[in-house]
């Protein structure tokens, strides 16, 4: 339904911004643009209008698959996750388009798991089209989607290349046998520092709390990474079945350093700006980002897995119930599990490839990258990183609220 | 005409139209439908949401209809500092914007009245920032005020600023951002009233041996009061609910969160809709009360 344009110039600006941030999906455009824009007053009102009134749900069924007749695919993903040549084209994806004749729309639409979820959750809950046929979200969010029954079963017969999936990715606790999800790229959360400002480097999370770095430390707003690293530093096995008090202990350390001003900023992808502007000298950060940052902004930063261990996460393909192009989505997943394609991609994005054989294929592209522990970790490196265990719904609620409380300083 | 603001009895509204033309109703219809659809409906939904209760053993973001008053008390208790901070920051930003905008509007509207070209040029300059997204402008300020940016480095070089001092993430930066972003909203209404200011009143004040200050206080300010009231409202109301400037991604930090940030976080991150809805209603109610008092005190009900 058409919406009258507000006359307030600030609103207009805000609307343009929010529109730019999402792909133009006919019906949703005006409504979502409006939501993002008005933010508080009317935005809050309108958001509430979308909030589910009842929670009782019947089991969703997958949309009919029209892949045989409709050769299209819309794919939402995070920024910096697709190889690009100097002309701005995506070589691997273009090759896929030519090879299959599929019309792939690749949207850099995910900036944060929570905000992406908040944007599409109403459609997800109703089993409707979310505007994407497949999306890559982090495994903890995928486990929530699995738990809620929002995503389709995948047909492994359409994806013979999944045989190349590294065994360590094959059986996550939320999706044994990968019946519903396929890993895209993974990474570590660890620590990084500005080599000019912190010449001696950092070894552990405790080093982040040193007096020299007061007000110069950034941490991630991704709870499982920031709190996970602190828990590891306190000797908790984050993969195991730890109890609430382990989380609370880590929160205490976190809260203390936020309130005392040791931690300057708590951010998502934006933390890179702070490193670059030198508002922060050290940070909890994601492995692949530092390689990219060094490439674009001078070789100034160093990444390390803290001696008490780092976290390991995966961004993972899922096909929502409302997608009518599941087979097309499976076709793109299958394509990226060809070792040569995976190697080409990994050479550009610098994150962990879940594909066996990609390392060997990388030898032909760039032998130096094939030994890079951040892309092709060996057994030693993998033993030093841990997956934050899947939280129950109750824990997700409680821990999330505790973490946000600190972020708001309340 | 501005004097009508101070009339003790309502100004005569002209000949009363007794016959209610159906055309008038038809013309009103789109507006009424718009308000029903996009204001009243979401508002009712918001009120309902604010009383919802969590589903027992439910998943994240699952709430059912209920009558949970405690959503209000809990959220106000938990976020009281953020609510107070929001109104404090908004008040300071409004005052600063007024102090900056008034001379500006006076200059454009009165001093250069004889030069329409200069007047239009200056007005264009006031509006010019709107040609760039306010998010981009705010990000630009963040860069300028960053620790290695020109301001902090300059101040440190002059030893005015402690070596570990910084600007971004402080209340100063947030109030600065609010003031900066809302100055045009203050300037334009002030200009609109000052532009019509009859300078003969000021001359008369001078002729009657009033000092310039007295003339300003007794004549200029009262005559421009409608502009002051609408300018301050246009600044204060959105500033109190703003969550961009205070967000850690822009000029703020965890120590400067305003109530808007709490609402955003509850809606989008923790999916706690009842608390977010309750906070939105509290914010709206408090703003309504403050504005109601203010407008009564200023005696300008019939101008708004």
Site from B36, B60, B82, B135 to mutate, A interface, most A CB atoms within 10 angstroms: B60
A40 confidence band (pLDDT: 50, 70, 90): very low
Instruction: Establish if B262 touches chain A: CB-CB under 8 angstroms.
Output: yes
Q: With DSSP H G I counted as helix, E B as strand and the rest as coil, what are the percentages for chain B, rounded to 5?
A: 70, 0, 30
Distance CA B264, CA B272 (A): 10
Mean pLDDT, chain B, as a whole number?
A: 88
Q: What is the mean pLDDT of residues B104-121?
A: 94
CA of B179 vs chain A CAs: smallest distance (Å): 14
Which residues in B lie closer than 8 A to residue A408 (C-beta atoms)? 79, 82, 254, 257, 261-262, 265
Give the pLDDT of residue A312.
Answer: 92
Where does the pLDDT of residue A97 fall: very low under 50, low under 70, confident under 90, or very high at 90 and above? Answer: very high
Residue A298 touches chain B, beta carbons under 8 Å: no
CA distance A346 to chain B (A): 29
> Which residues, at least 6 apart from A164, have a Cβ–Cβ distance to it below 8 Å?
A337, A338, A339, A342, A355, A356, A357
pLDDT of residue B5: 39
Residue of B nearest to A222 (CA): B269
B21 or A62, higher pLDDT: A62
Residue in chain B lying closest to A214 (CA): B164
For residue A133, count other CB atoms closer than 10 A to its CB.
27
What pLDDT is attached to residue A7? 54
Q: Which helix (H) or strand (E) holds B44?
A: helix B41-50
Give residue A50's pLDDT: 47
| Tokens, residue A243 | 């109890």
Domain assignment present for residue B199? The answer is yes
Mean pLDDT of A213-242: 93
| pLDDT bracket for residue B173 (50, 70, 90) | very high
Whether A331 has a pLDDT exceeding 80, the answer reads yes
Q: Would you tell me which residues 12-71 of chain B have a C-beta closer than 8 angstroms to some C-beta of chain A?
A: 34, 38-39, 41-43, 45-46, 48-50, 52, 54-55, 57-65
**pLDDT classification of A28: cutoffs 50, 70, 90:** very low
> What is the distance in angstroms between the CA of the first residue and the CA of the last residue of chain A?
39
Using DSSP's 3-state secondary structure scheme, residue A178 falls into helix
pLDDT digits (tens, 9 = 90+) for A356-405: 999 999 998 888 888 888 889 888 888 999 999 999 988 998 999 999 99
Q: Which residues of B touch A14 (CB under 8 A)?
A: 134-135
Is residue B31, in this structure, part of any structural domain at all? no
For the segment B225-273, what is each residue's pLDDT rounded down to a tens digit?
999 999 999 999 999 999 999 988 889 988 899 999 999 999 988 889 9
Domain of B299, in residue numbers: 81-303
Q: Is pLDDT above 70 for A51?
A: no
Contacts with B, A 158-187, CB within 8 Å: none
What integer best gives the mean pLDDT of chain A? 85
A130-139, A283-292, A311-320, B294-303: least confidently modelled range: B294-303
What residues 46-65 of chain A have any CB closer than 8 A to a CB of chain B? 46-49, 51-56
CATH label of the domain that carries residue B132: 1.10.3720.10
Chain B contact present for A297, CB below 8 A: no
pLDDT score for B254: 86
Q: Using one digit for the tens of pLDDT, what is the confidence trace for A281-299? A: 999 999 888 888 888 888 8
Q: Do B268 and A118 touch (CB under 8 A)?
A: yes
A59 vs A81: CA distance, rounded Å: 33
User: Are A354 and A186 spatial neighbours (Cβ–Cβ below 8 Å)?
Assistant: yes
Does A53 sit within 8 Å of B64, measured CB to CB? yes
Per cent of chain B over pLDDT 90 is: 66
How much is the pLDDT for A1?
Answer: 39
Chain B CA closest to residue A279: B147
pLDDT of residue A298: 85
Band (A32; pLDDT cuts 50, 70, 90):
very low
Closest CA to B283 of A274, A40, A143, A268: A40
- Per-residue pLDDT band for A25 (boundaries 50, 70, 90) equals very low
Nearest to A46 among B42, B63, B242 (CB): B42
Q: Is it the case that residue B51 has pLDDT exceeding 60? A: yes
Distance CA B153, CA B163 (A): 9
Residue B181 in this model has a pLDDT that exceeds 70: yes
Q: Is B38 within the bounds of a domain?
A: no
Instruction: Provide the pLDDT for residue A48.
Output: 44
| Length of chain A measured in residues | 410
Distance CA B225, CA B240 (A): 22
Q: State whether the Cα torsion A229-A231-A236-A242 is positive or negative.
A: negative
Helix ranges (H only) for A101-221 are: 113-126, 139-148, 205-208
* Smallest CA–CA distance from A45 into chain B, residue: B42
Decide if B38 and A278 are in contact by the 8 Å CB cutoff.
no
Q: What is the pLDDT of residue A44?
A: 42
* pLDDT at residue A16, as a whole number: 54
Q: For chain B, what percent of residues have pLDDT higher than 70?
A: 91
Tell me the mean pLDDT in the region A297-313: 92
Between these two residues, B87 and A393, which has the higher pLDDT value? B87
A266 and chain B: CB distance < 8 Å anywhere?
yes
What is the model's pLDDT at position A258? 92
CATH among 3.40.640.10, 3.40.50.2300, 3.40.190.10, 3.40.50.261 for A72-184+315-375: 3.40.190.10
Identify which has the larger pLDDT, B293 or A14.
Answer: B293
Q: Specify the higher pLDDT residue, A219 or A30.
A: A219
Cβ of residue B248 closer than 8 Å to a chain A Cβ: yes
Please give the pLDDT value at position B303.
54
Model confidence, pTM? 0.80
Interface residue B124 vs chain A (CB under 8 A): no
Chain A within 8 Å of B249 (Cβ-Cβ)? yes
Architecture in CATH for domain A187-312+389-407: 3-Layer(aba) Sandwich (3.40)
> Does the beta carbon of A211 lie under 8 angstroms from any beta carbon of chain B?
no
**Contacting residues of B for A226, CB less than 8 Å apart:** none
Reported as a single tens digit per residue, the pLDDT across A149-207 is 999 999 999 999 999 998 888 888 899 999 999 999 999 999 999 999 999 999 999 99
Q: B296-304 long-range CB contacts below 8 Å, 24 or more apart?
A: B298/B225, B298/B228, B298/B229, B299/B5, B299/B6, B300/B5, B300/B225, B300/B226, B300/B229, B302/B4, B302/B5, B302/B10, B302/B11, B303/B4, B303/B5, B303/B226, B303/B229, B303/B230, B304/B229, B304/B230, B304/B233
In a domain, B74, yes or no: no
Using CB atoms and an 8 Å cut-off, which of residues 215-234 of chain A contact chain B? 215-216
* Alpha carbon distance A41, B259 (integer Å): 12
For CATH 3.40.190.10, the residue range(s) in chain A are: 72-184+315-375, 187-312+389-407
Question: Is the Cβ pair A47, B148 closer than 8 Å?
Answer: no
- Per-residue model confidence (pLDDT) at position A26: 35
Nearest Cα of chain B lies from the Cα of A277 at a distance, in angstroms, of 6
- Identify which of B64, B267, B271 has the shortest CB distance to residue A54: B64
Select the residue from B161, B270, B276, B280 to test the A interface by mutation, using most A Cβ atoms within 10 A.
Answer: B270
What integer is the mean pLDDT of A13-30? 44
Check residue B121 and give its pLDDT. Answer: 95
What does the pLDDT read at residue B10? Answer: 44
Q: Tell me whether residues A51 and B273 touch, CB distance under 8 A.
A: yes
Q: Count of domains in chain B?
A: 1
pLDDT at B178: 96
Q: Show the beta-strand stretches assigned E in A89-244.
A: 103-108, 134-138, 182-194, 217-220
Instruction: Please give the pLDDT value at position B209.
Output: 92
């Amino acid at each position: 339904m058409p919406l009258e344009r507000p006359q307030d110039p600030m609103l207009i600006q805000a609307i343009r911004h929010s529109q730019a941030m999402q792909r133009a999906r006919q019906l949703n455009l005006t409504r979502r643009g409006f939501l993002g824009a008005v933010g508080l007053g009317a935005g809050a009102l309108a958001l509430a209008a979308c909030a589910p009134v009842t929670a009782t749900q019947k089991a969703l069924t997958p949309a009919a698959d029209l892949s045989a007749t409709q050769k299209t695919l819309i794919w939402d993903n995070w920024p910096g996750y697709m190889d690009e040549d100097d002309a701005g084209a995506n070589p691997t994806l273009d090759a896929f388009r030519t090879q299959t004749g599929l019309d792939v729309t690749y949207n850099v639409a995910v900036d944060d798991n929570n905000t992406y979820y908040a944007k599409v959750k109403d459609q997800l809950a109703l089993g409707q089209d979310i505007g994407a046929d497949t999306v890559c979200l982090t495994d903890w969010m995928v486990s929530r989607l699995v738990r809620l029954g929002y995503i389709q079963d995948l047909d492994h017969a359409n994806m013979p290349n999944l045989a190349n999936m590294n065994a360590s990715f094959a059986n996550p606790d939320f999706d044994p046998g990968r019946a519903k999800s396929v890993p895209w790229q993974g990474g570590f959360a660890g620590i990084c520092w500005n080599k000019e400002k912190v010449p001696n480097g950092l070894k552990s999370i405790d080093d982040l709390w040193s007096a020299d770095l007061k007000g110069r430390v950034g941490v991630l707003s991704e709870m499982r990474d920031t709190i996970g690293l602190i828990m590891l530093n306190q000797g908790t096995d984050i993969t195991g079945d730890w109890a609430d008090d382990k989380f609370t202990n880590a929160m205490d350390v976190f809260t203390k350093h936020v309130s005392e001003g040791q931690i300057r900023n708590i951010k998502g992808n934006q933390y890179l700006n702070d490193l670059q502007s030198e508002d922060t000298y050290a940070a909890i950060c994601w492995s692949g980002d530092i390689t990219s940052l060094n490439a674009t902004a001078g070789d100034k930063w160093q990444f390390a897995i803290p001696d008490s261990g780092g976290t390991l996460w995966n961004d993972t393909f899922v096909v929502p119930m409302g997608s009518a192009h599941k087979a097309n989505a499976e076709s793109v997943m299958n394509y990226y599990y060809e070792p040569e394609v995976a190697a080409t991609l990994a050479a550009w994005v610098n994150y962990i490839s879940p594909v066996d054989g990609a390392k060997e294929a990388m030898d032909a592209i760039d032998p130096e990258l094939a030994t890079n522990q951040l892309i092709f970790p060996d057994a030693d490196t993998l033993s030093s990183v841990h997956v934050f265990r899947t939280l129950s719904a109750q824990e997700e609620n409680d821990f999330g609220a505790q973490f946000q409380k600190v972020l708001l300083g309340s | 005409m501005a004097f009508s603001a101070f009339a003790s009895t309502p100004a005569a509204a002209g000949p009363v139209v007794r016959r209610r033309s159906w055309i008038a109703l038809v013309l009103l219809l789109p507006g009424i439908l718009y308000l029903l659809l996009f204001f009243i409906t979401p508002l009712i939904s918001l009120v309902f949401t604010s009383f919802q209760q969590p589903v027992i053993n439910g998943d994240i973001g699952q709430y059912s209809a209920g009558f949970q008053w405690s959503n209000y008390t809990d959220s106000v208790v938990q976020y009281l500092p953020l609510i107070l901070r929001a109104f404090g920051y908004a008040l300071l930003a409004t005052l600063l914007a007024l102090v900056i905008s008034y001379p500006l509007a006076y200059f454009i509207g009165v001093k250069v009245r004889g030069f329409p070209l200069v007047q239009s040029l200056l007005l264009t300059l006031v509006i010019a920032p709107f040609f760039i997204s306010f998010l981009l402008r705010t990000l630009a300020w963040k860069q300028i005020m960053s620790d290695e940016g020109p301001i902090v480095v300059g101040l440190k070089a002059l030893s005015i600023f402690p070596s570990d001092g910084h600007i971004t993430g402080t209340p100063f930066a947030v109030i600065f951002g609010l003031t900066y972003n809302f100055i045009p909203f203050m300037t334009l209404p002030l200009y609109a009233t000052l532009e019509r200011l009859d300078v003969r009143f000021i001359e008369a004040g001078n002729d009657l041996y009033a000092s310039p200050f007295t003339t300003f206080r007794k004549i200029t300010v009262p005559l421009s009061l409608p502009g002051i009231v609408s300018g301050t409202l246009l600044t204060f109301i959105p500033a109190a609910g703003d969550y961009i400037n205070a967000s850690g991604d822009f000029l703020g930090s965890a120590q400067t969160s305003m109530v808007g940030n709490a609402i955003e976080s509850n809606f989008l991150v923790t999916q706690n809709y009842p608390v977010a809805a309750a906070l939105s209603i509290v914010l709206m109610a408090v703003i309504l009360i403050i504005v109601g008092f203010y407008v009564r005190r200023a005696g300008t009900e019939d101008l708004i």
